[in-house]
Structure 1
Amino acid sequence: MTPRDLWLRFETYHDVTYFSPESRAATDALGCKGGWMGYFGMRAAPLGAVPPEVVTAAFFTFHPRMVARALPDAWDVATPARYLEARLEGVDGALRRMLESLDLAEAADLAVAAATATPLAGRVLAAANRALPVPGEPHLALWWACTVLRESRGDGHVAALVAAGLGPCEALVLFDADKGLGADYLRKARGWTADEWAAAESALRERGLVDDGLTPAGRALRDDVERATDDAARDCWAEVDAARFTGLMTPVALRLGHLNEAMRTNPMAIDPVAQIAGQPDADRPGPRARMGT
Protein backbone atom coordinates (compact mmCIF):
# COMPACT_ATOMS: atom_id res chain seq x y z
CA MET A 1 0.00 0.00 0.00
CA THR A 2 1.29 3.45 -0.86
CA PRO A 3 1.21 6.41 1.54
CA ARG A 4 -1.42 7.96 -0.75
CA ASP A 5 -3.71 4.94 -0.43
CA LEU A 6 -3.41 5.18 3.33
CA TRP A 7 -3.96 8.94 3.33
CA LEU A 8 -7.20 8.69 1.39
CA ARG A 9 -8.64 6.41 4.05
CA PHE A 10 -7.50 8.15 7.24
CA GLU A 11 -8.18 11.63 5.80
CA THR A 12 -11.75 10.62 4.97
CA TYR A 13 -12.26 9.40 8.53
CA HIS A 14 -10.62 12.47 10.04
CA ASP A 15 -12.73 14.87 7.97
CA VAL A 16 -15.80 14.31 10.14
CA THR A 17 -13.98 16.51 12.65
CA TYR A 18 -14.91 19.64 10.71
CA PHE A 19 -17.25 18.58 7.95
CA SER A 20 -20.36 17.07 9.49
CA PRO A 21 -23.61 18.54 10.83
CA GLU A 22 -22.80 17.22 14.29
CA SER A 23 -19.47 19.04 14.46
CA ARG A 24 -21.03 22.29 13.28
CA ALA A 25 -23.79 21.92 15.88
CA ALA A 26 -21.21 21.37 18.62
CA THR A 27 -19.33 24.59 17.84
CA ASP A 28 -22.55 26.55 17.33
CA ALA A 29 -23.53 25.45 20.83
CA LEU A 30 -20.31 26.94 22.16
CA GLY A 31 -21.30 30.29 20.67
CA CYS A 32 -19.05 30.34 17.60
CA LYS A 33 -19.88 32.93 14.97
CA GLY A 34 -19.95 30.81 11.85
CA GLY A 35 -18.34 27.58 10.78
CA TRP A 36 -14.85 28.97 10.27
CA MET A 37 -14.54 30.16 13.86
CA GLY A 38 -15.49 26.65 14.93
CA TYR A 39 -12.99 25.15 12.50
CA PHE A 40 -10.08 27.27 13.67
CA GLY A 41 -11.03 26.85 17.30
CA MET A 42 -11.28 23.06 17.11
CA ARG A 43 -8.22 22.49 14.95
CA ALA A 44 -5.99 24.90 16.84
CA ALA A 45 -7.19 23.84 20.31
CA PRO A 46 -4.50 21.17 20.82
CA LEU A 47 -1.93 23.99 20.58
CA GLY A 48 -3.61 26.00 23.35
CA ALA A 49 -4.86 29.59 23.10
CA VAL A 50 -2.24 30.56 20.54
CA PRO A 51 -2.36 33.85 18.59
CA PRO A 52 -3.49 33.92 14.95
CA GLU A 53 0.08 34.22 13.69
CA VAL A 54 0.90 30.75 15.01
CA VAL A 55 -2.19 29.21 13.42
CA THR A 56 -1.50 30.95 10.10
CA ALA A 57 2.00 29.51 10.08
CA ALA A 58 0.88 25.99 11.00
CA PHE A 59 -2.16 25.79 8.70
CA PHE A 60 -0.14 27.38 5.85
CA THR A 61 -2.58 28.07 2.99
CA PHE A 62 -5.03 30.29 4.88
CA HIS A 63 -4.63 34.04 4.46
CA PRO A 64 -3.68 35.73 7.75
CA ARG A 65 -6.80 37.92 7.49
CA MET A 66 -9.04 34.86 7.41
CA VAL A 67 -7.42 33.41 10.51
CA ALA A 68 -7.56 36.75 12.30
CA ARG A 69 -11.32 36.95 11.76
CA ALA A 70 -11.66 33.87 13.98
CA LEU A 71 -8.72 34.17 16.37
CA PRO A 72 -8.18 35.27 19.08
CA ASP A 73 -11.95 35.91 19.35
CA ALA A 74 -12.58 32.16 19.42
CA TRP A 75 -10.70 31.96 22.73
CA ASP A 76 -13.12 34.50 24.21
CA VAL A 77 -16.02 32.26 23.17
CA ALA A 78 -14.56 29.17 24.84
CA THR A 79 -11.30 27.79 26.16
CA PRO A 80 -9.21 25.38 24.08
CA ALA A 81 -10.29 22.62 26.47
CA ARG A 82 -13.95 23.30 25.66
CA TYR A 83 -13.18 23.23 21.93
CA LEU A 84 -11.55 19.85 22.40
CA GLU A 85 -14.65 18.60 24.18
CA ALA A 86 -16.91 19.98 21.45
CA ARG A 87 -14.69 18.44 18.79
CA LEU A 88 -14.94 15.00 20.37
CA GLU A 89 -18.68 15.41 20.90
CA GLY A 90 -19.25 16.26 17.23
CA VAL A 91 -17.03 13.44 16.00
CA ASP A 92 -18.74 10.94 18.29
CA GLY A 93 -22.18 11.92 17.05
CA ALA A 94 -21.21 11.89 13.38
CA LEU A 95 -19.44 8.54 13.53
CA ARG A 96 -22.21 6.88 15.52
CA ARG A 97 -24.74 8.04 12.95
CA MET A 98 -22.78 6.90 9.90
CA LEU A 99 -20.86 3.87 11.16
CA GLU A 100 -22.99 2.37 13.91
CA SER A 101 -22.90 -1.20 12.57
CA LEU A 102 -19.17 -1.44 11.81
CA ASP A 103 -16.60 -3.13 14.05
CA LEU A 104 -13.67 -0.71 14.17
CA ALA A 105 -11.58 -2.29 16.93
CA GLU A 106 -8.87 -3.84 14.75
CA ALA A 107 -8.57 -0.79 12.52
CA ALA A 108 -8.26 1.34 15.64
CA ASP A 109 -5.47 -0.83 17.03
CA LEU A 110 -3.51 -0.60 13.78
CA ALA A 111 -4.03 3.14 13.42
CA VAL A 112 -3.06 3.83 17.04
CA ALA A 113 0.12 1.81 16.54
CA ALA A 114 0.99 3.86 13.45
CA ALA A 115 0.13 7.16 15.12
CA THR A 116 2.21 6.24 18.16
CA ALA A 117 5.16 5.50 15.87
CA THR A 118 4.85 8.77 13.93
CA PRO A 119 8.03 10.88 14.20
CA LEU A 120 7.22 14.22 15.82
CA ALA A 121 10.35 16.30 15.15
CA GLY A 122 9.25 19.35 13.19
CA ARG A 123 5.60 18.21 13.21
CA VAL A 124 3.91 20.60 15.58
CA LEU A 125 0.26 19.82 14.81
CA ALA A 126 0.90 16.09 14.92
CA ALA A 127 2.72 16.41 18.25
CA ALA A 128 -0.02 18.55 19.79
CA ASN A 129 -2.72 16.04 18.82
CA ARG A 130 -0.71 13.02 19.91
CA ALA A 131 -0.26 14.57 23.34
CA LEU A 132 -4.02 14.29 23.86
CA PRO A 133 -5.35 11.17 25.60
CA VAL A 134 -6.47 8.26 23.43
CA PRO A 135 -10.24 7.82 23.80
CA GLY A 136 -11.37 4.44 25.08
CA GLU A 137 -14.04 3.59 22.50
CA PRO A 138 -12.71 2.09 19.25
CA HIS A 139 -14.42 4.54 16.87
CA LEU A 140 -12.94 7.47 18.80
CA ALA A 141 -9.52 5.86 19.25
CA LEU A 142 -9.47 5.38 15.48
CA TRP A 143 -10.41 9.03 15.00
CA TRP A 144 -7.63 10.13 17.40
CA ALA A 145 -5.09 8.11 15.43
CA CYS A 146 -6.37 9.27 12.04
CA THR A 147 -6.12 12.86 13.26
CA VAL A 148 -2.50 12.39 14.35
CA LEU A 149 -1.66 10.72 11.04
CA ARG A 150 -3.45 13.40 9.05
CA GLU A 151 -1.74 16.29 10.82
CA SER A 152 1.62 14.51 10.60
CA ARG A 153 1.28 14.18 6.83
CA GLY A 154 0.11 17.79 6.66
CA ASP A 155 3.12 18.99 8.63
CA GLY A 156 5.39 17.09 6.25
CA HIS A 157 3.58 18.50 3.24
CA VAL A 158 4.05 22.06 4.47
CA ALA A 159 7.77 21.38 4.93
CA ALA A 160 7.94 20.11 1.33
CA LEU A 161 6.15 23.20 0.01
CA VAL A 162 8.48 25.51 1.92
CA ALA A 163 11.52 23.60 0.65
CA ALA A 164 10.18 24.01 -2.89
CA GLY A 165 10.06 27.79 -2.44
CA LEU A 166 6.27 27.98 -2.62
CA GLY A 167 4.34 30.47 -0.56
CA PRO A 168 0.81 29.73 0.65
CA CYS A 169 -1.06 31.39 -2.22
CA GLU A 170 1.47 30.10 -4.77
CA ALA A 171 0.84 26.55 -3.53
CA LEU A 172 -2.87 27.04 -4.17
CA VAL A 173 -2.32 28.49 -7.65
CA LEU A 174 -0.05 25.60 -8.59
CA PHE A 175 -2.61 23.14 -7.22
CA ASP A 176 -5.37 24.74 -9.28
CA ALA A 177 -3.22 24.77 -12.42
CA ASP A 178 -2.91 21.02 -11.99
CA LYS A 179 -6.42 20.05 -10.89
CA GLY A 180 -8.65 22.88 -12.07
CA LEU A 181 -10.91 23.22 -9.04
CA GLY A 182 -11.40 26.88 -9.85
CA ALA A 183 -9.54 29.96 -8.67
CA ASP A 184 -12.66 31.62 -7.26
CA TYR A 185 -13.50 28.57 -5.15
CA LEU A 186 -9.99 28.16 -3.77
CA ARG A 187 -9.54 31.88 -3.08
CA LYS A 188 -12.79 31.98 -1.11
CA ALA A 189 -11.93 28.80 0.77
CA ARG A 190 -8.60 30.21 1.93
CA GLY A 191 -9.28 33.96 2.02
CA TRP A 192 -7.11 35.34 -0.80
CA THR A 193 -8.14 38.31 -2.94
CA ALA A 194 -8.15 38.31 -6.74
CA ASP A 195 -5.14 40.66 -6.76
CA GLU A 196 -3.18 38.43 -4.38
CA TRP A 197 -4.02 35.40 -6.50
CA ALA A 198 -2.89 37.21 -9.65
CA ALA A 199 0.39 38.19 -8.00
CA ALA A 200 1.06 34.60 -7.00
CA GLU A 201 0.22 33.41 -10.50
CA SER A 202 2.60 36.00 -11.96
CA ALA A 203 5.39 34.83 -9.67
CA LEU A 204 4.86 31.23 -10.80
CA ARG A 205 4.86 32.29 -14.45
CA GLU A 206 8.20 34.02 -13.91
CA ARG A 207 9.55 30.73 -12.53
CA GLY A 208 8.24 28.90 -15.58
CA LEU A 209 5.90 26.75 -13.51
CA VAL A 210 2.53 27.74 -15.00
CA ASP A 211 1.28 28.95 -18.35
CA ASP A 212 -2.13 27.74 -19.51
CA GLY A 213 -1.96 25.13 -16.79
CA LEU A 214 1.14 23.41 -15.46
CA THR A 215 4.32 23.59 -17.49
CA PRO A 216 6.66 20.57 -17.54
CA ALA A 217 8.70 22.32 -14.84
CA GLY A 218 5.55 22.88 -12.80
CA ARG A 219 4.58 19.24 -13.14
CA ALA A 220 8.05 18.16 -12.03
CA LEU A 221 7.90 20.45 -9.00
CA ARG A 222 4.46 19.21 -7.96
CA ASP A 223 5.62 15.62 -8.34
CA ASP A 224 8.69 16.36 -6.23
CA VAL A 225 6.55 17.91 -3.48
CA GLU A 226 4.15 14.98 -3.45
CA ARG A 227 7.01 12.46 -3.47
CA ALA A 228 8.64 14.22 -0.53
CA THR A 229 5.31 14.27 1.31
CA ASP A 230 4.83 10.54 0.72
CA ASP A 231 8.40 9.70 1.72
CA ALA A 232 8.07 11.62 4.97
CA ALA A 233 4.89 9.71 5.82
CA ARG A 234 6.27 6.17 5.48
CA ASP A 235 8.19 5.54 8.69
CA CYS A 236 5.23 5.15 11.03
CA TRP A 237 3.96 2.16 9.01
CA ALA A 238 7.22 0.20 9.14
CA GLU A 239 6.00 -2.10 11.93
CA VAL A 240 2.28 -1.89 11.16
CA ASP A 241 0.32 -4.00 8.66
CA ALA A 242 -0.58 -1.21 6.25
CA ALA A 243 -2.30 -3.55 3.81
CA ARG A 244 -4.57 -4.86 6.55
CA PHE A 245 -5.38 -1.32 7.66
CA THR A 246 -6.21 -0.34 4.09
CA GLY A 247 -8.49 -3.34 3.69
CA LEU A 248 -10.30 -2.63 6.94
CA MET A 249 -10.68 1.06 6.21
CA THR A 250 -11.87 0.75 2.62
CA PRO A 251 -15.54 0.00 3.48
CA VAL A 252 -15.38 2.68 6.17
CA ALA A 253 -14.15 5.33 3.75
CA LEU A 254 -16.72 4.26 1.16
CA ARG A 255 -19.55 4.54 3.67
CA LEU A 256 -18.37 7.95 4.81
CA GLY A 257 -18.03 9.02 1.18
CA HIS A 258 -21.66 8.08 0.59
CA LEU A 259 -23.11 9.47 3.82
CA ASN A 260 -21.03 12.52 4.74
CA GLU A 261 -22.46 15.12 2.38
CA ALA A 262 -20.51 17.97 3.98
CA MET A 263 -17.18 16.28 3.28
CA ARG A 264 -17.67 16.42 -0.49
CA THR A 265 -17.91 20.20 -0.47
CA ASN A 266 -14.83 20.88 1.67
CA PRO A 267 -11.75 22.46 0.06
CA MET A 268 -9.82 19.18 0.04
CA ALA A 269 -12.50 17.99 -2.45
CA ILE A 270 -12.00 14.32 -1.60
CA ASP A 271 -14.29 11.84 -3.32
CA PRO A 272 -13.31 8.51 -1.75
CA VAL A 273 -16.09 6.63 -3.54
CA ALA A 274 -14.68 7.51 -6.95
CA GLN A 275 -11.04 7.20 -5.99
CA ILE A 276 -11.27 3.87 -4.21
CA ALA A 277 -13.27 2.55 -7.16
CA GLY A 278 -10.34 3.56 -9.37
CA GLN A 279 -12.22 6.07 -11.48
CA PRO A 280 -10.13 8.58 -13.45
CA ASP A 281 -9.47 11.79 -11.52
CA ALA A 282 -8.86 14.21 -14.39
CA ASP A 283 -11.60 16.47 -13.06
CA ARG A 284 -11.11 15.94 -9.35
CA PRO A 285 -8.16 15.83 -6.97
CA GLY A 286 -6.91 12.44 -5.88
CA PRO A 287 -4.83 11.41 -2.86
CA ARG A 288 -1.79 13.10 -4.40
CA ALA A 289 -3.58 16.39 -4.87
CA ARG A 290 -3.14 18.17 -1.56
CA MET A 291 -3.36 21.93 -1.61
CA GLY A 292 -1.52 22.53 1.62
CA THR A 293 -3.26 21.86 4.88
Structure 2
Amino acid sequence: MNLFDTVREVLDRRAPEVARSRGLSLEELYRQMGNSIDVMLAEWQREGAPSIPYHDPVFQLAYVYSHVAMNAHLLDEALRCEFPIKGRPVSVGSALLNLLKKTDRLRICTFGSGPGTELLGLSRFLGSKWLPHIPVELDVLHMDRVDQWAPSSKALQDSIESQFGRKRKLAFSTSFLPWNASKPDVASQTRALEERHLFLFSYVVSELLDQAELDAVSGLLSQMVRASPHAVFLIIDRFGDDRTQANISSLVAGAGLQPLAEDTLPNYVGFDEHAKTSLRQYVNVIGRMPRGSRFGGKKEAQFVIAQRP
Protein backbone atom coordinates (compact mmCIF):
# COMPACT_ATOMS: atom_id res chain seq x y z
CA MET A 1 0.00 0.00 0.00
CA ASN A 2 1.57 3.30 -1.10
CA LEU A 3 0.83 5.74 1.72
CA PHE A 4 1.45 8.73 -0.53
CA ASP A 5 -1.27 7.66 -2.97
CA THR A 6 -3.68 7.94 -0.07
CA VAL A 7 -2.32 11.35 0.90
CA ARG A 8 -2.70 12.53 -2.70
CA GLU A 9 -6.33 11.39 -2.84
CA VAL A 10 -7.11 13.28 0.38
CA LEU A 11 -5.42 16.44 -0.92
CA ASP A 12 -7.07 16.16 -4.35
CA ARG A 13 -10.46 16.03 -2.63
CA ARG A 14 -9.96 18.62 0.11
CA ALA A 15 -7.71 21.22 -1.56
CA PRO A 16 -10.30 22.46 -4.12
CA GLU A 17 -12.90 22.77 -1.33
CA VAL A 18 -10.58 24.82 0.87
CA ALA A 19 -9.36 26.96 -2.05
CA ARG A 20 -12.96 27.85 -3.00
CA SER A 21 -13.84 28.71 0.61
CA ARG A 22 -10.80 31.03 0.85
CA GLY A 23 -11.16 32.56 -2.63
CA LEU A 24 -7.74 31.22 -3.65
CA SER A 25 -6.38 29.49 -6.70
CA LEU A 26 -4.94 26.04 -6.08
CA GLU A 27 -1.43 27.37 -6.64
CA GLU A 28 -1.99 30.11 -4.04
CA LEU A 29 -3.34 27.52 -1.60
CA TYR A 30 -0.32 25.25 -2.10
CA ARG A 31 1.99 28.19 -1.33
CA GLN A 32 0.05 28.91 1.85
CA MET A 33 0.41 25.25 2.77
CA GLY A 34 4.18 25.63 2.38
CA ASN A 35 4.14 28.68 4.67
CA SER A 36 2.08 26.71 7.20
CA ILE A 37 4.66 23.92 7.19
CA ASP A 38 7.35 26.52 7.99
CA VAL A 39 5.26 27.71 10.95
CA MET A 40 4.79 24.16 12.23
CA LEU A 41 8.50 23.40 11.97
CA ALA A 42 9.39 26.58 13.85
CA GLU A 43 6.92 25.70 16.60
CA TRP A 44 8.25 22.16 16.96
CA GLN A 45 11.84 23.36 17.12
CA ARG A 46 11.37 26.04 19.76
CA GLU A 47 11.67 25.42 23.49
CA GLY A 48 8.50 24.09 25.09
CA ALA A 49 5.33 22.66 23.59
CA PRO A 50 4.24 23.91 20.14
CA SER A 51 1.15 26.04 19.59
CA ILE A 52 -0.26 25.30 16.14
CA PRO A 53 -3.71 26.37 14.78
CA TYR A 54 -4.89 22.92 13.70
CA HIS A 55 -8.44 24.27 13.42
CA ASP A 56 -7.35 26.18 10.28
CA PRO A 57 -8.09 24.11 7.12
CA VAL A 58 -4.88 25.33 5.44
CA PHE A 59 -2.80 24.06 8.37
CA GLN A 60 -4.75 20.80 8.22
CA LEU A 61 -3.89 20.31 4.55
CA ALA A 62 -0.26 21.20 5.29
CA TYR A 63 -0.23 18.58 8.04
CA VAL A 64 -1.78 15.94 5.76
CA TYR A 65 0.79 16.69 3.06
CA SER A 66 3.80 16.80 5.34
CA HIS A 67 3.14 14.31 8.14
CA VAL A 68 0.39 11.76 7.53
CA ALA A 69 2.43 9.30 5.45
CA MET A 70 5.39 9.27 7.83
CA ASN A 71 3.24 8.96 10.96
CA ALA A 72 1.24 6.11 9.42
CA HIS A 73 4.52 4.41 8.52
CA LEU A 74 5.81 4.77 12.09
CA LEU A 75 2.64 3.19 13.50
CA ASP A 76 2.90 0.31 11.02
CA GLU A 77 6.50 -0.26 12.13
CA ALA A 78 5.58 -0.09 15.82
CA LEU A 79 2.86 -2.71 15.32
CA ARG A 80 5.46 -5.08 13.84
CA CYS A 81 8.16 -4.59 16.50
CA GLU A 82 8.68 -7.74 18.55
CA PHE A 83 9.47 -7.92 22.26
CA PRO A 84 9.77 -10.90 24.63
CA ILE A 85 6.89 -12.03 26.86
CA LYS A 86 7.62 -15.12 28.94
CA GLY A 87 10.51 -15.93 26.62
CA ARG A 88 8.46 -15.72 23.42
CA PRO A 89 8.64 -12.93 20.82
CA VAL A 90 5.35 -11.08 20.46
CA SER A 91 4.17 -7.79 18.95
CA VAL A 92 1.10 -5.60 19.18
CA GLY A 93 0.32 -6.53 15.59
CA SER A 94 0.47 -10.26 16.31
CA ALA A 95 -1.86 -9.72 19.28
CA LEU A 96 -4.36 -7.97 16.99
CA LEU A 97 -4.13 -10.80 14.46
CA ASN A 98 -4.76 -13.33 17.21
CA LEU A 99 -7.83 -11.35 18.23
CA LEU A 100 -9.12 -11.62 14.67
CA LYS A 101 -9.22 -15.38 15.10
CA LYS A 102 -11.83 -14.85 17.82
CA THR A 103 -13.67 -11.76 16.62
CA ASP A 104 -14.11 -9.84 13.39
CA ARG A 105 -14.18 -6.49 15.18
CA LEU A 106 -11.22 -4.57 16.54
CA ARG A 107 -12.17 -1.80 18.98
CA ILE A 108 -9.53 0.91 18.96
CA CYS A 109 -9.26 4.40 20.44
CA THR A 110 -6.93 7.01 19.01
CA PHE A 111 -6.15 10.12 21.03
CA GLY A 112 -4.96 13.31 19.35
CA SER A 113 -5.57 11.55 16.06
CA GLY A 114 -6.09 14.63 13.90
CA PRO A 115 -7.00 13.52 10.36
CA GLY A 116 -7.04 9.82 11.28
CA THR A 117 -3.40 8.98 10.61
CA GLU A 118 -3.65 5.92 12.86
CA LEU A 119 -6.45 4.54 10.71
CA LEU A 120 -4.08 4.59 7.74
CA GLY A 121 -1.25 2.91 9.66
CA LEU A 122 -3.56 0.20 11.00
CA SER A 123 -5.06 -0.42 7.59
CA ARG A 124 -1.64 -0.73 6.00
CA PHE A 125 -0.59 -3.28 8.60
CA LEU A 126 -3.78 -5.33 8.39
CA GLY A 127 -3.84 -5.15 4.61
CA SER A 128 -0.45 -6.86 4.49
CA LYS A 129 -1.26 -9.55 7.04
CA TRP A 130 -4.78 -10.90 7.18
CA LEU A 131 -6.40 -13.17 4.61
CA PRO A 132 -8.59 -11.39 2.03
CA HIS A 133 -11.65 -13.59 2.68
CA ILE A 134 -11.79 -12.77 6.42
CA PRO A 135 -14.07 -9.75 7.07
CA VAL A 136 -12.74 -7.20 9.54
CA GLU A 137 -14.42 -4.19 11.10
CA LEU A 138 -12.30 -1.44 12.61
CA ASP A 139 -14.38 0.24 15.31
CA VAL A 140 -12.35 3.40 15.86
CA LEU A 141 -13.04 6.14 18.40
CA HIS A 142 -11.18 9.35 17.59
CA MET A 143 -10.53 11.71 20.50
CA ASP A 144 -9.13 15.15 19.80
CA ARG A 145 -9.41 18.68 21.11
CA VAL A 146 -9.84 19.96 17.52
CA ASP A 147 -13.16 18.81 16.06
CA GLN A 148 -12.62 20.51 12.66
CA TRP A 149 -10.57 17.53 11.42
CA ALA A 150 -13.73 15.66 10.36
CA PRO A 151 -13.69 16.46 6.57
CA SER A 152 -10.04 15.40 6.19
CA SER A 153 -10.61 12.31 8.32
CA LYS A 154 -13.60 11.29 6.18
CA ALA A 155 -11.59 11.81 2.98
CA LEU A 156 -8.79 9.64 4.39
CA GLN A 157 -11.20 6.87 5.33
CA ASP A 158 -12.85 6.97 1.89
CA SER A 159 -9.45 6.72 0.21
CA ILE A 160 -8.46 3.68 2.30
CA GLU A 161 -11.73 1.95 1.44
CA SER A 162 -11.32 2.71 -2.26
CA GLN A 163 -7.78 1.32 -2.33
CA PHE A 164 -8.41 -2.06 -0.75
CA GLY A 165 -11.26 -1.94 1.72
CA ARG A 166 -13.91 -3.64 -0.38
CA LYS A 167 -11.49 -6.17 -1.88
CA ARG A 168 -10.33 -7.28 1.54
CA LYS A 169 -13.71 -6.90 3.27
CA LEU A 170 -12.51 -4.10 5.50
CA ALA A 171 -15.25 -2.03 7.10
CA PHE A 172 -15.03 1.03 9.31
CA SER A 173 -17.16 2.15 12.20
CA THR A 174 -15.80 5.51 13.31
CA SER A 175 -16.91 8.03 15.89
CA PHE A 176 -15.51 11.27 17.26
CA LEU A 177 -15.41 12.39 20.87
CA PRO A 178 -14.20 15.95 21.56
CA TRP A 179 -11.75 16.28 24.41
CA ASN A 180 -11.61 19.36 26.60
CA ALA A 181 -8.74 19.43 29.07
CA SER A 182 -10.47 21.88 31.40
CA LYS A 183 -13.99 20.38 31.23
CA PRO A 184 -13.80 16.66 30.44
CA ASP A 185 -17.11 14.86 29.93
CA VAL A 186 -16.24 11.95 32.20
CA ALA A 187 -19.53 10.07 31.84
CA SER A 188 -19.53 10.12 28.02
CA GLN A 189 -15.84 9.24 27.93
CA THR A 190 -16.27 6.24 30.23
CA ARG A 191 -19.01 4.70 28.07
CA ALA A 192 -17.06 5.28 24.86
CA LEU A 193 -13.79 3.91 26.25
CA GLU A 194 -15.15 0.59 27.47
CA GLU A 195 -13.98 -2.71 25.95
CA ARG A 196 -11.31 -1.24 23.71
CA HIS A 197 -8.51 -3.53 22.55
CA LEU A 198 -5.94 -0.85 21.75
CA PHE A 199 -5.29 2.78 22.67
CA LEU A 200 -3.02 4.82 20.40
CA PHE A 201 -1.25 8.07 21.28
CA SER A 202 0.65 9.45 18.28
CA TYR A 203 2.69 12.64 18.79
CA VAL A 204 0.39 13.76 21.61
CA VAL A 205 2.61 14.05 24.66
CA SER A 206 5.12 16.37 22.97
CA GLU A 207 2.30 18.81 22.15
CA LEU A 208 0.81 19.14 25.62
CA LEU A 209 0.95 22.85 26.28
CA ASP A 210 1.30 23.02 30.06
CA GLN A 211 1.11 21.10 33.33
CA ALA A 212 -2.68 21.46 33.41
CA GLU A 213 -2.99 19.61 30.08
CA LEU A 214 -0.48 16.99 31.22
CA ASP A 215 -2.54 16.41 34.38
CA ALA A 216 -5.73 16.18 32.30
CA VAL A 217 -4.19 13.56 30.00
CA SER A 218 -2.96 11.68 33.06
CA GLY A 219 -6.52 11.56 34.36
CA LEU A 220 -7.83 10.45 30.97
CA LEU A 221 -5.21 7.70 30.71
CA SER A 222 -6.21 6.37 34.13
CA GLN A 223 -9.84 6.46 33.01
CA MET A 224 -8.94 4.45 29.90
CA VAL A 225 -7.21 1.81 32.03
CA ARG A 226 -10.26 1.47 34.28
CA ALA A 227 -12.68 1.30 31.34
CA SER A 228 -10.62 -1.25 29.37
CA PRO A 229 -8.30 -3.00 31.85
CA HIS A 230 -7.03 -5.57 29.33
CA ALA A 231 -6.18 -3.10 26.56
CA VAL A 232 -2.72 -2.42 25.15
CA PHE A 233 -1.42 1.15 25.05
CA LEU A 234 0.94 2.27 22.27
CA ILE A 235 2.56 5.70 22.53
CA ILE A 236 4.64 7.11 19.65
CA ASP A 237 6.41 10.45 19.93
CA ARG A 238 9.60 12.41 19.35
CA PHE A 239 12.94 10.71 19.88
CA GLY A 240 15.67 12.57 21.74
CA ASP A 241 13.31 15.01 23.48
CA ASP A 242 14.04 14.69 27.21
CA ARG A 243 10.89 16.55 28.28
CA THR A 244 8.64 14.34 26.16
CA GLN A 245 10.36 11.17 27.32
CA ALA A 246 10.01 12.18 30.98
CA ASN A 247 6.34 13.03 30.51
CA ILE A 248 5.63 9.69 28.80
CA SER A 249 7.27 7.83 31.69
CA SER A 250 5.25 9.86 34.18
CA LEU A 251 1.96 9.22 32.38
CA VAL A 252 2.57 5.48 32.07
CA ALA A 253 3.54 5.10 35.73
CA GLY A 254 0.73 7.34 36.95
CA ALA A 255 -1.89 5.22 35.18
CA GLY A 256 -0.54 2.04 36.76
CA LEU A 257 0.68 0.68 33.43
CA GLN A 258 3.69 -1.60 32.99
CA PRO A 259 6.00 -0.85 30.03
CA LEU A 260 6.40 -3.97 27.90
CA ALA A 261 8.72 -2.52 25.27
CA GLU A 262 10.50 0.74 24.44
CA ASP A 263 12.49 1.37 21.30
CA THR A 264 13.15 3.71 18.38
CA LEU A 265 11.52 3.44 14.96
CA PRO A 266 13.22 3.28 11.55
CA ASN A 267 12.74 5.78 8.76
CA TYR A 268 10.62 5.16 5.67
CA VAL A 269 12.74 3.30 3.09
CA GLY A 270 12.08 4.74 -0.38
CA PHE A 271 10.41 7.85 1.09
CA ASP A 272 11.73 10.35 -1.48
CA GLU A 273 10.90 8.21 -4.49
CA HIS A 274 7.35 7.44 -3.36
CA ALA A 275 6.66 11.03 -2.33
CA LYS A 276 7.94 12.56 -5.57
CA THR A 277 5.99 10.09 -7.69
CA SER A 278 2.66 10.43 -5.90
CA LEU A 279 2.77 14.11 -4.90
CA ARG A 280 4.62 15.67 -7.82
CA GLN A 281 2.06 18.43 -8.48
CA TYR A 282 2.19 19.49 -4.82
CA VAL A 283 5.95 19.19 -4.36
CA ASN A 284 6.61 21.41 -7.39
CA VAL A 285 4.60 24.35 -5.99
CA ILE A 286 5.04 23.90 -2.22
CA GLY A 287 8.78 23.70 -2.78
CA ARG A 288 9.58 21.18 -0.06
CA MET A 289 9.23 17.45 0.39
CA PRO A 290 6.95 15.94 3.03
CA ARG A 291 8.51 15.17 6.39
CA GLY A 292 10.93 12.28 6.37
CA SER A 293 13.37 12.83 3.56
CA ARG A 294 15.35 15.52 5.39
CA PHE A 295 16.08 13.24 8.36
CA GLY A 296 18.35 10.88 6.43
CA GLY A 297 19.37 7.91 8.57
CA LYS A 298 18.53 9.53 11.91
CA LYS A 299 16.05 8.02 14.30
CA GLU A 300 13.25 10.47 14.81
CA ALA A 301 10.60 8.58 16.78
CA GLN A 302 10.35 6.42 19.86
CA PHE A 303 7.54 4.21 21.06
CA VAL A 304 6.38 2.71 24.34
CA ILE A 305 4.06 -0.30 24.61
CA ALA A 306 2.39 -0.69 27.98
CA GLN A 307 -0.38 -2.67 29.63
CA ARG A 308 -1.93 -3.03 33.05
CA PRO A 309 -0.02 -5.74 34.96
TM-score, normalised by the number of residues in structure 2: 0.29
TM-score, normalised by the number of residues in structure 1: 0.30
Larger relative CO (CA 8 A, sep 6+): 1 or 2?
A: 1
Pick the structure with more helix per residue. Answer: 1
